Structure 1
Amino acid sequence: MLRLGLSQYIPYTIYGLSFVVALTAFFYRREIGILFIAFFLPVYVVLHKALTLDLPFANDIVDFVLIGMILGGLVQSGREDQKPAVGQSPQIWLIILFVGYSLISYLSGSFYLGGDFMSDVNYQRLADWKNYMIVPLLYILTYYTLRERKWKYALFLLLFVSFIAMDLKFKETFRWFQHTRYAHENRVDGTFGFLNGNAFAAFHVICTLFLVSMFLMDRHFRRRIAYGLLIVGGVFCILYSYSRGAYVGFAAGLVFIALVRSRKLLIPLFLFLLVWKVVVPSSVVDRIEGTFVENDGRAGVISVGGTNLETAYRSEIWKEALSIFSANPVMGTGFRTFYEKTGWDTHNQYLKTLSEQGVIGLLIYLVLYQRAFMSGWRLYKGGDEDLLRAFGFSFVCAVVGSMVVNFFGDRWTYLQIGGIYWIAWALVDQENSRIALERQVEGSRLEGEAMETIGVEGSVAEARVQGSKGSSELPQNI
């Protein structure tokens, strides 16, 4: 971005920095590891270049940082006692169930694919499963590590910088293409490495809905400026991602915000629906209406990270997913087996989960959403600060956005999309636990004071009774 010709050295810098961060997280402060990973998630393409360097352990640098944080909990046990207490995570058993069942699904999928656990296919599936499990691990590490307010502020400041860089990079790439009318080859994929523009847009839907809610509820002037800048960048990226699933997800999230916070907001939304063809760019209108100016037809297939995605005939893929589910309804065929058998992605995370992990897997998936929604709602209603109540409701809106965009593809299993979502969930649960503990301590204190007061009053009453008895016996003794 500074145009100094240093871009080629950035991956090597990140590679070296990752080992420094891992050692720092191990010996000094585990929070450094979370900040390092979170910062690179929106600009994952930069981290991906470091991961693919032809250097020792380059592909494992994120794992080293995570291991440094995990082992750092043992080395830094004395410092942990100085942090605010939060108690056990309310989601710990659900996460254990989620991870355990996912592992079982991976193993059953290996048998479904032939039972050769050492094959290239199953090795790749294992790598995908391990990367998938990083997101719940981020939740646990964030919940038990990032407990001091100063580190949370540092996290949000770094994410602000990362989001700005992500949006500027998209805009810089976008200007090299012609966008007067829609053409599929002119779509910009964004900063998520091997993931395409649809995934990039889904990420922006989730985050921008969060930011819109924060802008509406947080009255702090300078923070609102920051929210506004990120909202403008997010809407720009959503608009020119040409992702119809993202359009639906963003619209659904805005309607949810309007219904819950202020129904007056429904009026501008309704007016926009009446005149949207005049307001939005013509290329976006083409995309929404399904018009492809060039080639005069619909695109049939695009490839994302080696996975073929069906765009024009996805209903046939959905039928195939339901057919596989009907043959294996309880546990499905196993983690990441649909692609290995068909060569296609389901283009719907709910159907992917249903076909690969069965009814059990889908129920766990839905419960994760339900618990995340309730976590945000609980902080929204019970937070002890206006900022925390805004944070809780904003996370609820992010959950709603995630639920919608996952109808149009896998926006759940990838670290670069889900990492910040799980970090935010951990912070929401952490605040809920802190508030509950403080209220419990306060309740115990008040109960102790009440018992002490009752004890004192009882002693005074007893003394009065004894005094009255003594006065009645006085004449007899005389």
Structure 2
Amino acid sequence: MNNAEAFFNIKFFKYNIMLTFFAPLITYIFSFPVMLFSIARIEIGIFFFVTFVPIIAVMQKISEFPGGNNMADWMLIAMVFGWFVNVARERRGIIERSPVNAAVFLIVIYSVVNLIRGYTFMALPADINLTRLMAWKNYMILPLMYFITMNNLRDEKNIKLLIVCICLAMLAMDFNFYSTFRWIKAEHYSNDIRISGPFSFLGPNELGVFYSMYTFLLIGISYFMQDKKIKWLILFVSACNLYPILFSYSRAAYICMIAGLFLLGMIKDRKLLLLLVVLIIGYSYILPNSVVERIDSTFLGKATVIEESVTSNAIGIGGVSVDTVGRKELWDKAKIYFKDHLFIGIGFDTFRHVEGMITHSLYMKILAEQGLMGMLVFIIFIFVILRQGFILYLYAENSLYKGIGLGFFLCVSVHLVGSITGDQSLYYNLMLIYWVFMGIVAHLSSQLMVKRQS
């Protein structure tokens, strides 16, 4: 090792210590004044929440400090107080009208019905029902953040600051992933080299889909971002995100990237279709060897077909745990539950407790746990938010708002693709940005329709 490499490694080690120890400590200390400031300036709480909550490794460290496990709950309470202060100060209604509101209320109401349904299914033990209730409570953080954002984050300057906060959060997560993966020998693919990076005890598939969703959210915005500094920041972060996407070795993430490039090419930039064709045809010459082997499902000279090992690695966050096992067996069991409980399913977050593992597909989970009624609610919800995002993209006069419409449409679409073989919907850390931008899109599209009607 030469002097330059030694110097770099020392500096890198210091930055890694800062991220893994001092960043959680500083975040924890500053969370208390932020809570107070959020009552008067709610956008401060929103910026803080969006910046740190998605970084699961930091949130896990914060939970080790006194009261740190409840930091997110206290921050939410402070923002709700701030919401009502804004309403009183501006003398306006509590909730702005939007078609998205009805879809979100439908999701919330049916989740309550589905939670109750779970209590009547197979008479699950009290501790499991309590765990299910905790998972539902954490899930409800998302619609609450939707309403908080929709009714309070309205200024273009604040929306730009929110985008910057998301970029900073993703850069921190990129650095966390790189600081771990850089020590792994990845000349050839094997299951052992897959890591979760900043997602701590979640899996590489969740990490890959997360990065894919929000990379396309940012890229969509970048097409219409007139502030050059923020635009270059977005493009830089999007480029950095390619590293964890590639080395997540998640085929779901790769499919998400293909779907995102195809949609963006069809809607906005046809040159991306040519890029997509080049990638599909020449990926084996362009991508790193270990990634190519993962895509080909072979390793060591394409001689052996990789068989996904059946494991039982329990992982969890916010009362939600995951066990990995063969998808076919899980989907077959989900189909059985769906056939036996066709209309309302077996209840919210019940499958994993009955079977000891999740379905590894959002759609299979909805069919098994919520039945046909739940799938209908989900379809209505997705139709409404996709429509509002696309309307905003087509008709917004403000270039930033047009970009938000495009970015959100791409984000939702990529999430739908990633949900075929995965399920991120209950993890508020992963889905927070999704629901926050849903609130922004709901507000902006509602204001747009008012202008068009006047």
Q: Do they fold alike, i.e. is TM over 0.5?
A: yes
**Equivalent residue for 2:323?**
308
1:2 Cα deviation after fit:
7.9
Distance 1:155 1:280, change over 3 A: same
**Equivalent residue for 1:342?**
355
Which range is displaced more, 58-67 or 262-271?
A: 262-271
Cα-to-partner distance string for 1:221-274 (whole Å, 9 max, x where unaligned):
433322221121111111110000110111011111112224343222112211
Mapped pair 1:66 → 2:81: no
**Equivalent residue for 1:103?**
112
Determine which structure has greater relative contact order: mean sequence separation of CA pairs < 8 Å that are 6+ residues apart, divided by chain length.
2
**Equivalent residue for 1:87?**
96
Are the equivalent residues in 1 in contact too, given 2:100–2:385 (CA < 8 A)? no
SS at the partner of 1:332? coil
Distance 1:382 1:17, change over 3 A: same
Are the equivalent residues in 2 in contact too, given 1:86–1:430 (CA < 8 A)? no
SS at the partner of 1:156? helix
Give, in whole Å, the separation in 2 of the partners of 1:61 and 1:316. Answer: 38
Distance 1:321 1:249, change over 3 A: same
| Structure 1 residues 5-16: aligned runs within 5 Å | 7-16=20-29
| Structure 1 residues 428-443: aligned runs within 5 Å | 428-440=441-453, 443=454
| Structure 1 residues 265-284: aligned runs within 5 Å | 265-284=272-291
**Equivalent residue for 2:381?**
368
Give, in whole Å, the separation in 2 of the partners of 1:288 and 1:29. Answer: 48
TM-score (norm 2): 0.89
TM-score (norm 1): 0.85
**Equivalent residue for 1:226?**
233
**Equivalent residue for 2:135?**
128
Are the equivalent residues in 2 in contact too, given 1:209–1:398 (CA < 8 A)? yes
Give, in whole Å, the separation in 2 of the partners of 1:247 and 1:120. Answer: 38
**Equivalent residue for 2:3?**
none
1:93 Cα deviation after fit:
2.2
1:292 Cα deviation after fit:
5.0
Which range is displaced more, 62-71 or 324-333?
A: 62-71
Q: How many residues align?
A: 433
Cα-to-partner distance string for 1:114-150 (whole Å, 9 max, x where unaligned):
165xx21111111111111111111100001112223
Which range is displaced more, 264-273 or 28-37?
A: 264-273
Match of 2:419 among 406, 410, 421: 406
1:66 Cα deviation after fit:
0.8
1:180 Cα deviation after fit:
0.3
Are the equivalent residues in 1 in contact too, given 2:95–2:147 (CA < 8 A)? no
Give, in whole Å, the separation in 2 of the partners of 1:269 and 1:179. Answer: 25
Distance 1:415 1:69, change over 3 A: same
**Equivalent residue for 1:459?**
none
Distance 1:157 1:261, change over 3 A: closer
1:13 Cα deviation after fit:
3.6
Mapped pair 1:353 → 2:353: no
| Structure 1 residues 52-451: aligned runs within 5 Å | 52-53=64-65, 55=66, 57-81=67-91, 87-114=96-123, 116=125, 119-218=126-225, 220-291=227-298, 297-301=307-311, 303=313, 304-305=315-316, 306-310=321-325, 313-440=326-453, 443=454
Aligned-residue CA RMSD (Å): 2.4
Specify every segment of 5 or more residues in structure 1 that has no aligned partner in the other structure, as ranges.
444-478
1:76 Cα deviation after fit:
4.1
Task: Look at both structures and tell me which one has the larger radius of gyration over its CA atoms.
Answer: 1
Are the equivalent residues in 2 in contact too, given 1:377–1:393 (CA < 8 A)? yes
1:436 Cα deviation after fit:
3.0
SS at the partner of 2:323? strand
SS at the partner of 2:186? coil
1:161 Cα deviation after fit:
1.4
Give, in whole Å, the separation in 1 of the partners of 2:43 and 2:258. Answer: 35
1:77 Cα deviation after fit:
3.6
Cα-to-partner distance string for 1:337-393 (whole Å, 9 max, x where unaligned):
111111121110110011001111111122221111111111011101222212211
Letter in 2 for 1:90: P
**Equivalent residue for 1:38?**
50
Give, in whole Å, the separation in 2 of the partners of 1:314 and 1:235. Answer: 26
